Structure 1
């Protein structure tokens, strides 16, 4: 065992960059990997996949240890990116800023407060535990960077969060998934994109229905709403939420509907999508470790000499505590929300509201979510891997209504 890894507990991080190709058959294929990007390709170790397509069987990928090591580096980078920014910042911390700003600036009777409050259940308590225990005592001791570097990475992601960039139509488009093309064979495996888009539209329809009843004068009434103006200012204020990318003003019903939909989207389907699949992707540590446990090769020639033993040295085989936490934390965080915490249950509750606008919109939301459930089952069946793993994380009966874990 002493030959497999150092015993000093040193962890190494990397900033991998991967070039993928998505052909018309929808089989995503990696073409090249930069192990640890250092300002330019000239000074970064880059390796190209010897298999030019996923259908190429002429290369023995199983024993291609330099390429397998490079893929491990990419997974390490993705682990940190996912946990520290996509999960922690873009859902937990951004939603917390919404909750606090709303309590400071929106009266409880305000329609936006009423729309959002049901999606805040236990989120502040969960975040308090994450901030006091999970991040400093667990995550910071699993990644290949110092705690100070990790916190700087987290803070950078938060302060540079651009609100409207993450509206689903904008988010998917900038990542190369145009909504108009998602039903083409090329995207048949892109299940998050194919399901999150109609989910966004469904939530927005519900929100718009309620807002229409509370803003009968339309855009003029929204533009004159001082509470909304104060909320926007609080979200941007450096001593408030400090998200400078939040809209400086909301002047129309459509803009307000987008903003409210985004708040619900973050708390419910988006957090469900990034949280409840952690067990699937991360509990088998060799597939996705949080750090490397041996120094990275500094030249392509060094990398090309890698064998199986070099890959094993990079894994936390001797760091048993780290291995256990890498497996157990995503397992514990992936416990499914109970039925009473689901988005569908929220719709059923809204349908029973004493407020006519909420009851009418809630009834339509319930019907739309039940329709989506059938639609999502059909979409999931179209994936190449559906026989082994259906994509159920956005099913309305599974999607948590708020960030409860």
Structure 2
């Protein structure tokens, strides 16, 4: 469980632990980090199943330059309104409940709603509807929205409606399901990846060693350098040229009309454009691998169960079967990120010197991705020698170029 919260998918929720006063309930003594999923508790569930809503508490990490997690100190269960500690009769049940809450939130909010339906869909629609086919930003993004429209269109019928597969896999009632997705879309707020890590309140020494942050930002910076180099070819004067491009202005504005409250993007500038494009590409490549490629967590019956029965430490057969069906349905990959994409940048309408420079930037990106992968693999060797888990979610050699089914 501690490794799940630090070097596994639970790490997406890892942050500095709140005090008892801040959280409104008891907190284990010595807790320094938490993975909080208590927001789920308010959503009604069907009979038989417990309500979601748990927080896992960890002690201080090793502090020796590694990201070895501290011990799992306790789990707060909203359903039981109780802090469950190691050795309590509900300890196994509380840990299973936390994993169920984690699987629900990661799959339905982070993967399905925020990544597929808002971020990937937003990238796809803004690029195709606001930018002409030869616009440099559309060419830059083209490989990263490959297949996105078809995948997301299919998911809205198979997964979203009440009574369909996703609803049956998880525990929410009809009303709870509708309320949940209404809220997670309404509450979406764009922030860059560096902003997300900075807001967690974790010590910088831990962030520097923590695989989710260190490897995630390494990939983000690699993508960012590529985006900046590419955009500089077409907007060498920076902000003034960006602001004068009517298609870019329309592209930027498109995000504000995609959901009711909009993305609330910062004003359009050269730097804000580079940051947004970097985030979008990161999310449909590395981000999707992290929150979406969870086969290893669904294969064990008690991994990340969709729903659990009160008091039990095991999972019913139907819930486990539904997890296996999810694995079967989501095993179709997309083309590799590390591949030859130069055919997208042979654009006759571009000046020949700009076209050649763009091809050189694209080829350099592939070289930089290989170096990024080499660094990640070498670092994993070091991690394993000091007792940490291998972390591969942001290794470019494993990444697809766009979201997969």
Superposition TM-score tier, normalisation by shorter sequence: 0.7 to 0.9
- Determine the structure 2 residue equivalent to 1:287: 303
Superposition deviation, residue 177 in structure 1: 4.8
Q: Cα RMSD over matched residues?
A: 2.6
Alignment partner for residue 161 of structure 1, among 177, 182, 188? Answer: 188
Contact 1:111/1:214, CA 8 A, preserved across alignment:
yes
Give the corresponding residue for 1:194: 214
Distance between the aligned counterparts of 2:378 and 2:185, measured in 1?
A: 36
Q: Structure 1 residue aligned with 2:57, among 19, 22, 27?
A: 19
Q: Does 1:151 align with 2:145?
A: no
Structure label with greater radius of gyration: 1
Q: Aligned pair 1:10/2:4, yes or no?
A: no
CA–CA distance in 1 between the matches of 2:333 and 2:285?
Answer: 11
Task: Please state whether the residue corresponding to 1:344 is helix, strand or coil.
Answer: coil
Change (3 A) 1:214 1:242: farther
1:53-64 maps to which residues of 2 (within 5 A)? 64=88
Instruction: Look up the SS of the partner of 1:286 in the other structure.
Output: coil
Corresponding residue number in structure 1 for 2:85 = 49
Cα distance in 1, alignment partners of residues 285 and 132 from structure 2: 23
Q: Is the 8 A contact 2:148 2:402 kept in 1?
A: yes
Q: Give the gaps of 5 or more residues in structure 1.
A: 1-7, 38-43, 51-60, 295-309
The CA distance in 2 between the partners of 1:218 and 1:11, in whole Å, is 55
Deviation string, structure 1 residues 207-263 (Cα, Å, up to 9, x no partner): 1011101002211111222222222222112xx34452331531x211110011112
Report if aligned partners of 1:18, 1:34 keep a CA contact under 8 Å in 2: yes
- The partner residue of 1:101 within 126, 133, 153 is 126
The answer to whether the aligner puts 1:210 opposite 2:230 as a matched pair is: yes
Cα gap change, 1:248 to 1:370, in 2 (>3 Å): closer
Q: CA–CA distance in 2 between the matches of 1:325 and 1:388?
A: 31
What is the rounded CA distance, in whole Å, between the counterparts of 2:128 and 2:332 in structure 1? 28
Matched ranges for 1:338-353 at <5 A: 341-345=335-339, 348-350=340-342, 353=345
Distance across 2 between alignment mates of 1:386 and 1:283: 27
Give 3-state SS (helix, strand or coil) of 1:366's partner. Answer: helix
1:131 — aligned with what? Answer: 156
Q: After superposition, what is the alpha-carbon deviation per residue over 1:131-186, rounded to whole angstroms, capped at 9, x for unaligned?
A: 111344211012121133223222322222221x2x12111111245667544xxx
Q: Which runs of 5+ in 2 are unaligned?
A: 1-45, 347-354
2:279 to 259, 262, 268: 262
Show the counterpart of 1:41. Answer: none
Q: TM-score when scaled to structure 2? A: 0.77
The answer for the alignment partner of 1:5 in structure 2 is: none
- Give the direction of change, closer, same or farther, for the CA distance of 1:204–1:243 in structure 2 (3 Å limit): farther
Instruction: Determine whether 1:227 maps to 2:259.
Output: no
When residues 197 and 20 of structure 1 are mapped into structure 2, their CA distance, relative to the original with a 3 A threshold, is: same
Aligned partners of 2:127, 2:50: CA distance in 1, in Å?
A: 40
Query: Which has the larger displacement, 23-32 or 253-262?
Result: 23-32
Q: Deviations over 1:350-388 (max 9, x none)?
A: 388432232121121111111111111122223359999
For the pair 1:78 / 2:102, whether they are aligned, the reply is yes
Contact persistence 1:19–1:31 (CA under 8 A): yes
Q: Give the count of matched residue pairs.
A: 345
- 1:18-37 Cα shifts (integer Å, max 9, x gaps): 23234234224332322117
Aligned-residue offset at 1:9: 7.2
Q: Judging changes above 3 Å, is the alpha-carbon distance between structure 1 residues 176 and 28 closer, same or farther for their aligned structure 2 residues?
A: farther
Q: Deviations over 1:38-92 (max 9, x none)?
A: xxxxxx6222534xxxxxxxxxx5xx54111111111111111101111112211
CA deviations on 1:68-121 (whole Å, 9 max, x unpaired) are 111111111111110111111221112112211222222222211111111111
CA contact (8 A) 2:301 2:320 kept: yes
Give 3-state SS (helix, strand or coil) of 1:330's partner.
helix
Equivalence for 2:376: 376
